[in-house]
Amino acid sequence: MSFISKPRVPVSKLPKNELGLTTREYEGSMSTLCAGCGHDSITAALIQAFWELNVEPHQVVKMSGIGCSSKTTAYFLGDAHGINAVHGRMPSVATGANSADRDLYYVGVSGDGDSLSIGLGQFAHALRRNLNMLYVIENNGVYGLTKGQFSASADVGSKAKKGEVNQQPPIDPVITAMAMGGSFVARSFSGDKEQLVPLLKAGIMHRGFALVDVLSPCVTFNDHEDSTKSYAHTRQFYHPAVHADFVASKKPIRTAYNEGEVMPVELHDGSTVLLRKVSKDYDPANRAKAYSYLHDHQKKGEIVTGLLYIDEGQRDMHEVSNTVPTPLRDLAYQDLTPGAKKLAEIQDRYR
């Protein structure tokens, strides 16, 4: 719960970004999640990502649904508007917000219940629209706020705290996004900030729907032995396939990589993502190959992570809709009304 106010104490030693802001100014209210919750690490990574990108906090719009994960939008960027919509329906609210103003940054935080059960339809259709937003799923395989039921991302055989064993196959958001035509598909782990922060940065700057599925263990209900979403299990089967470095547009790209193993992908704003293959036979630009790689490794019980697929060429919702570059909400009324003479003329058609 976000009613605990957090005093902003200036800490002089903290480094400042190009806007002269420290990470403190990218924080929000105090987290009320359980101590050790993976979600808090993701919140910290988001703070780091926006700070490093030099984005003005109030230029960001935070979207979420209902659940533990959805509460976290209150815990970062206190100077940004946030909306905690109804359960599983954040993608539609984000679609509307984005249609009104295409210039702001949209970041959605959701969970496996919010996106893969009640909200699977909206999640899929936001993907299909290629809505320009960063969409983070804080994935822990369990319903926390209602105390420990399996979610749709729980693996077959995974055991609940009270001993029940999950029998139903999981819905994997990454494989789903690949199949639905997602233009940016990534997976990471709340315990790997080094991997996560560049992925979030690339996702924020990607024009289109950037899915980052982050395994984020629930310390209270799903971190025990025989759970496949625990810290220990995730660390053991963690399989980074691609490493992504994010290079902001102003910095020259250093060529400290071996030709052939690194793939630079230029984003719309001129910044670049450098993809370094960790696994030689992985191709993050080939949907079919990436898909089958994910599938094969999932069968083996491995958790493939990294920027798994990216296509900067896909048109986002506004490009498909052919909307004017000016945010629709900023159009003056004179620009929108056809006027009295036109109304008379239109009505004459119905004589």
- Give contact residues for another protein (rule: CB under 8 A): 1-3, 57-59, 61, 73-74, 78-86, 89, 91-101, 103-104, 121-122, 124-125, 129, 317-318, 321-325, 328-329, 331, 333, 335-340, 342-344, 346-348, 350-351
- Burial class (CB within 10 angstroms; exposed 0-12, middle 13-18, buried 19+) of 248: middle
Judged by CB, which is closer to another protein: 33, or 244? Answer: 33
Judged by CB, which is closer to another protein: 75, or 282? Answer: 75
Output b/e per residue, 172-185; b: 16+ Cβ within 10 A. bbbbbbbebebbbb
Tokens of 276: 């370094």
Rounded to a whole number of angstroms, the minimum distance from the CB of residue 16 to another protein is: 17
- Give the separation between CA 88 and CA 118, rounded to whole angstroms: 5
Query: How far from chain centre, in Å, is Cα 242?
Result: 17
Rounded to a whole number of angstroms, the minimum distance from the CB of residue 91 to another protein is: 8
Judged by CB, which is closer to another protein: 74, or 154? Answer: 74
Judged by CB, which is closer to another protein: 255, or 337? Answer: 337
Tokens of 82: 């946030």
Rounded to a whole number of angstroms, the minimum distance from the CB of residue 195 to another protein is: 29
Judged by CB, which is closer to another protein: 280, or 350? Answer: 350
Judged by CB, which is closer to another protein: 14, or 346? Answer: 346
Residue 187's nearest CA partner among 65, 278, 60, 294 is 294
Strands 81-84 and 60-64, by their bridges, are parallel
Tokens of 76: 């970062």
Rounded to a whole number of angstroms, the minimum distance from the CB of residue 205 to another protein is: 17
- Give the separation between CA 302 and CA 311, rounded to whole angstroms: 24
Rounded to a whole number of angstroms, the minimum distance from the CB of residue 54 to another protein is: 15
- Give the separation between CA 301 and CA 304, rounded to whole angstroms: 9
DSSP per residue, 112-161: HHHHHTTTHHHHHHHHHHT-SEEEEEEE-SEETTTTSEE-TTPPTT-B-T
Rounded to a whole number of angstroms, the minimum distance from the CB of residue 283 to another protein is: 31
Rounded to a whole number of angstroms, the minimum distance from the CB of residue 103 to another protein is: 8
Rounded to a whole number of angstroms, the minimum distance from the CB of residue 350 to another protein is: 4
Judged by CB, which is closer to another protein: 47, or 241? Answer: 47
Angle (CA) 259 209 55, round 5°: 80
Judged by CB, which is closer to another protein: 14, or 86? Answer: 86
